[in-house]
Structure 1
Amino acid sequence: MTYNNSKNQLNNVTLNPEDNAVFNVEGVKVYYGSSLALVDVYMKIPEKQIIAFIGPSGCGKSTLLRCFNRMNDLITGARVEGRLIYRDRNVYDPNINSVKLRRQVGMVFQKPNPFPKSIYENIAFGPRANGYKGNLDELVENSLRRAAIWDEVKDKLKQKGTALSGGQQQRLCIARAIAMKPDVLLMDEPCSALDPISTRQVEELCLELKEQYTIIMVTHNMQQATRVADWTAFFNTETDQHSKRRGKLVEFSPTEQIFNSPQTKEAAEYISGRFG
């Protein structure tokens, strides 16, 4: 169930029979201009589980996360090579509609970013703009309920989302993503700006949401990975022949295994606190 980032080992890795791979990452490289930022990533993302990306700053965690819904397209000079298969389509096929892709693969950012609109409109705006024909009131309520924030905001739906606390804003942003009926949720350090109580609420929410969604989360908090993730990917940096730093995937294992018996020296040293 464990594999290192090697092309030769990719086909030797099998998920549990009941696990379907939502994404197959096959030799993905990411460049920013002429600089190689992330090198040759191979991994399979299982369905309806939480996958945590850990590692020191600058190792490519968020860079890879943005590949899953082509958010790197919005960064000047960014270029992706390799194949990233979502279900049965290459995300980087020229015929893929990136806007539609982002409806299926939603994203929650490090800093809560509610729209400067009412709580209700934060949820309703996206579906309405995309031609939603159902009952918007029901959609708003259901999304807020599933994000575990309905009871806190049900009497103030006309108030601005930006007036909520940081933890509430983040759960509002999760509800906003859920309202688009995605298949996958990407989370880029969703708790880094939150207090411990709000962090616990978001973590508990993630554990509930994985019953319906695949969640891929970048975190600098290794304890958070042990609390919520089914699988953990450890990234690190290396120096090329020109003394330039680039990120790499070192190990991808079930979380309990990578923290208790990592298969690589780099992962063992990072988890034990020897660097990072």
Structure 2
Amino acid sequence: MNTTPVTSGTAAPAAGQQAPAVGSVAATAPDTIAQLSDVSIYYGSNHAVRDVAMPIAENQITAMIGPSGCGKSTVLRSINRMNDLIPGARVTGSITFAGQDIYSPQVDPIAVRRHIGMVFQKANPFPKSIFDNVAYGLRVNKMTDGLQDRVEQALRGAALWDEVKDNLKKSALALSGGQQQRLCIARAIAVQPQVLLMDEPCSALDPIATAKIEELMNELVNDYTIVIVTHNMQQAARVSHSTAFFSAELDDAGDRFGHLVEFSDTNKLFSNPADSRTADYISGRFG
């Protein structure tokens, strides 16, 4: 597996060089780029998500589905240590990336987020120009050699270049919602991560903009590994290779917690789920 360690001091790729990626979405068994093992997530004394174990396949799209409050986004944020930013949050078990436990004391969380980028539910462009939005992470990570080329490459990768190339100094806030979300994708891929986490990236978009994002994901997966949280089961069925179904359960004390019910090939999960709770959810009988 051709991946890069996430300790601090990792050298940045040269301008124009694509992030390391191995394999494709072919029929051969994919490599595992990350692995969650017995992962539990706490907010203070609240045991919010319990005992999650699942692989993340390289250069494939993994979807997480389930009802509100089942821990999908919480698990997603744990994969690049975004939960570290929430007071009282902690993670037990292990999450490995490129063979390293990303929660090891020797691992720099900022380096983790450089290699595992994130796109949020609501487009969140900075109140800066289109160019400066994309260049922001490059400057923070001191990847400023060939800055113009890097920004163009990221905008092309997000299928936005042709729409904005003559207005790079224009405020990003003037873009449409769909364009803003693609700008956020460009900002995420500009630093050439290996994994791209997407938390409900289409929930605020109309069907046309949603179709563009889904088409873009199908293109990006040739160069990146994608993990997406979505409430839209049809979207998961359309774009993903593997799907994890989460449910919200009650423990003996009556406390609610998120639980991974089933993880499988997407076609199998939707056509022949192994667990009756999965079948009930995808058929609309609950959730």
State the TM bucket, normalised to the shorter chain: over 0.9
Q: Tell me the equivalent position of 1:157.
A: 168
After superposition, the CA RMSD in angstroms is 1.0
In 1: Cα distance, 2:139 partner to 2:254 partner: 50
Question: Cα distance, 1:131 vs. partner?
Answer: 1.3
Unmatched runs of 5 consecutive residues or more in structure 1:
1-15
SS in 2 for 1:110: coil
Work out the CA distance in 1 between the residues paired with 2:136 and 2:40: 35
The reply to whether residue 23 of structure 1 matches residue 34 of structure 2 is yes
Tell me the percent identity.
57
Runs of 4+ in 1 over 3 A off after TM superposition: none
**Paired letter, 2:54:** M
For residue 127 of structure 1, what is the amino acid of its counterpart? L
SS in 1 for 2:148: helix
Q: Secondary structure at the match of 1:156?
A: coil
Contact 2:116 2:194 in 1 (8 A): yes
Equivalenced residues, count: 261
* Displacement after TM superposition at 1:70 (Å): 0.3
1:11 is aligned to none
Whole-angstrom CA distance in 2 between matches of 1:231 and 1:129 = 33
Q: Does 1:97 align with 2:108?
A: yes
Task: Report the CA distance between 1:222 and its aligned residue.
Answer: 0.3
Structure 1 position 63, deviation (Å): 0.5
| Equivalent position SS for 1:233 | strand
In structure 1, the residue matched to 2:245 is: 234
Mapped partners of 1:95, 1:241: distance in 2: 37
Matches within 5 A, 1:181-260: 181-260=192-271
Q: State the alpha-carbon separation in 2 of the partners of residues 61 and 84 from structure 1.
A: 15
Quote the Cα distance in structure 1 between the aligned partners of 2:110 and 2:139. Answer: 15
Q: In the alignment, is the contact (CA less than 8 A) between 2:40 and 2:52 conserved in 1?
A: yes
Distance in 2 between the 1:58 and 1:230 partners?
24
Shift of residue 134 of structure 1?
2.2
Amino acid at match of 1:131: K
Structure 2 CA distance for aligned equivalents of residues 126 and 49 of structure 1 = 24
Distance 2:41 2:100 in 1: 19
- Secondary structure in structure 1 of the residue aligned to 2:285: coil
**Structure 2: how far apart are the matches of 1:132 and 1:29?**
35
Once residues 130 and 83 of structure 1 are traced to their aligned partners in structure 2, the CA distance between those partners, rounded to angstroms, is: 26
1:152-208 superposed Cα distances (whole Å, 9 cap, x missing partner): 101100001111000000000000001011000000000000010000000000000
State which drifts further: 120-129 or 110-119. Answer: 120-129
- Name the stretch that deviates more: 99-108 or 129-138: 129-138
Q: Distance in 1 between matches of 2:61 and 2:29?
A: 15
Alignment of 1:35-184 (within 5 A): 35-184=46-195
C-alpha distance in structure 1 between counterparts of 2:67 and 2:264, whole Å: 18
Deviates more, 1:124-133 or 1:141-150: 124-133
Q: Which amino acid aligns with 1:178?
A: I
Aligned partners of 2:98, 2:277: CA distance in 1, in Å?
31
1:76 CA displacement: 1.1
Secondary structure of the 1:43 match is strand
In the TM superposition, what whole-angstrom CA distance separates every residue of 1:197-226 from its partner, at most 9, and x where no partner exists? 000000000000000100000000000001
Q: TM-score, normalised by structure 1?
A: 0.93
The alignment partner of 2:37 has SS state of: strand
Measured after TM superposition, the shift of residue 17 of structure 1 is 6.1
Q: Distance in 2 between matches of 1:50 and 1:275?
A: 25
Could you tell me which runs of 5 or more consecutive residues in structure 2 were left unpaired when the two chains were aligned.
1-26
State how far apart, in whole Å, the 2-side matches of 1:21 and 1:174 are: 23
TM-score under structure 2 normalisation? 0.89
Cα distance in 2, alignment partners of residues 62 and 264 from structure 1? 22
1:269 aligns with 2:280: yes
- Aligned mates of 1:50, 1:75 — CA distance in 2: 27
